[in-house]
Structure 1
Amino acid sequence: MTTLQAIILGIIEGLTEFLPVSSTGHMIIGSSLMGIQKDEFVKLFTVAIQLGTILSVVVLYTKRFFRSIQFYFKLIAAFIPAAIFGVLFSDKIDALLESPQTVAIALVLGGIVLLFVDRIWRNNTQDDSDKISYPSAFVVGLFQCLAMIPGVSRSAATIIGGMQQKLTRKAAAEFSFFLAVPTMFAATAKKLLDFYKDGHHVSSEEWTLLGIGNIVGFVVAIIAIKSFISFVTRYGFRAFGIYRIVVGLVILGLLWSGHSLEII
């Protein structure tokens, strides 16, 4: 992986992690077009650069993270389902479902759902994500488990879960951002632990690439989050649904034309 490739992947991560469009699908297209070879460090890189995007949420919403201790308990309630499900079944899911075809199909199906969510839950009135109840937070966590299927999008699953629990578009998106912090931190920590347990190590050059990817992801994610909240509050999710369908069809088109795409 070159420095330029690390920058581009950081941009992709920062732009897509918090949008309901599947960062996995975009990583597939981006890495394939750049000819990045799949190896253990590349797998680590695509997970570890999430730390930068996590930090962007903490920086943008610092006051929310210090408002109330209940805020953390609700995040824990929402995090528990994915933590349990991930420990028990993630390996099987990865083995069975991590394929470009699965990502493409999930993108298209998820896109179709996003075409209608604004209409289905147009009467939601709970505009403060901090006031979500513990049972509702847990339900959102159950929706997050769907994101273990590549291409579903963690952001899309949790936002839809939040709206199903009567949160407005803005509140559902914000709770999705907050829930990303423990979820993505845990995923990154597990990936790092597994990387070293398997006898691998990170060279000084690779640490530099990780630093670059995280910094770029952090900056881009801040811009993406601010723009996303403003956009969905005004226009809703229909545009993201259309976009997902197009990306999914692009991946299917590449596969049908003989391109070899791999999830990194």
Structure 2
Amino acid sequence: MIEFIKVFMLGVIQGITEWLPISSTGHLLLFDELFPLNASESFLSVFTVVIQLGSILAVVVLYWSKLWPFKSDKKEMKKSFILWSKVLTASIPAAIAGLLLDDIIDSKLSTWYVIALALFVYGVLYIILEKKIKFKTRINSLEEITYLDSIKIGAFQMLALIPGTSRSGSTILGGIICGISRPVVAEFSFFMAIPVMAGASLLRLLKSGLGFTAIEWVYLLLGSLISFIVSLIVIKALVKFVREHDFSAFGIYRIILSIVVVLFFSFR
């Protein structure tokens, strides 16, 4: 029973931290150190990636009307296809970098000190960018985002390959720097997660060989389900939050978390 509680909590952490700009990797790392799941190391590396599929499904459910391209209205159908083409364009930089660097990231960068450093550096950047620099907004709808804008946001998404960075934080702040309004770039960031996270999950599953035990499959399904339910709530809350607030509070949180990570691993 205790293992199912751990899986439940990991799903909750994934559902919250995947969308908030606070790094899912850092939180999952701390939880695993405090309450390690009784499973093989190879399975755990797959589990923390594959439960992202639940988070992706939440985006699809919430934004089905915008994402589903096969509509009866030809004008709306065209808008959906164009949106998908921009999302896929934005996904190209991270997809290429991820395929080339996946093994290096796992073996060299997935360490607590890299995560702590990324948490701290980007926490400081969030505060500076939000409090010291004002960016002019020129785009207020998804339709106004150009393919060049998509590539630029995609380049920011590559930063999230460094553990502890936060994919949502990189892409949303990158979009703001490019002149896109907060609610619009938040939605676009959610859509960008679909091909990137689905691709990462598929790659990790194929590398694993799918040789899981029955209980490990149950863990994967339960973690994904909880991640899905929590993501539904968090995505709605984040969209509302970015309309009225900046990311400086998340910057402060990241700095505090980075200190916690350093202290924990230094004196454990």
Q: Same fold (TM over 0.5)?
A: yes
Q: Residues 167-182 of structure 1: matches in 2 within 5 Å?
A: 167-182=180-195
Calculate the TM-score normalised by the size of structure 1.
0.92
Any idea what SS the aligned residue of 1:110 has?
A: helix
Residue of structure 1 in register with 2:200 after alignment? 187
Are 1:121 and 1:163, in contact at CA under 8 Å, matched by a contact in 2? no
Residue of structure 1 in register with 2:249 after alignment? 239
Calculate the TM-score normalised by the size of structure 2.
0.91
Any idea what SS the aligned residue of 2:64 has?
A: coil
Identical-pair percentage: 38
Residue of structure 2 in register with 1:56 after alignment? 58
Q: 2:42 aligns with which of 22, 40, 43?
A: 40
Unaligned runs of 5+ in 1: 260-264
Structure 2 CA distance for aligned equivalents of residues 18 and 91 of structure 1: 24
Matched letter for residue 30 of structure 1: F
Any idea what SS the aligned residue of 1:213 has?
A: helix
Note if 1:127 corresponds to 2:137: no
Q: Residues 59-208 of structure 1: matches in 2 within 5 Å?
A: 59-66=61-68, 67-119=79-131, 120-196=133-209, 201-208=211-218
Structure 1 CA distance for aligned equivalents of residues 130 and 61 of structure 2: 29
Note if 1:22 corresponds to 2:23: yes
Structure 1 CA distance for aligned equivalents of residues 141 and 130 of structure 2: 18
Q: Give a deviation string over 1:90-137, Cα, whole Å, max 9, x none.
A: 222333222100100100111111113334244324221342100110
C-alpha deviation, 1:35, in angstroms: 2.8
Classify 1:130/1:31 alpha carbon distance in 2 versus 1 (closer, same or farther; 3 Å).
farther
Note if 1:227 corresponds to 2:240: no
Residue of structure 2 in register with 1:262 after alignment? none
The runs of at least 4 consecutive aligned structure 1 residues that moved more than 6 Å come to none
Any idea what SS the aligned residue of 1:116 has?
A: helix
Any idea what SS the aligned residue of 1:20 has?
A: coil
Matched letter for residue 15 of structure 2: G
Matched letter for residue 227 of structure 1: A
Count of aligned residue pairs for this structure pair: 255
Unaligned runs of 5+ in 2: 69-78
Are 2:135 and 2:176, in contact at CA under 8 Å, matched by a contact in 1? no
Q: CA RMSD in A?
A: 1.5
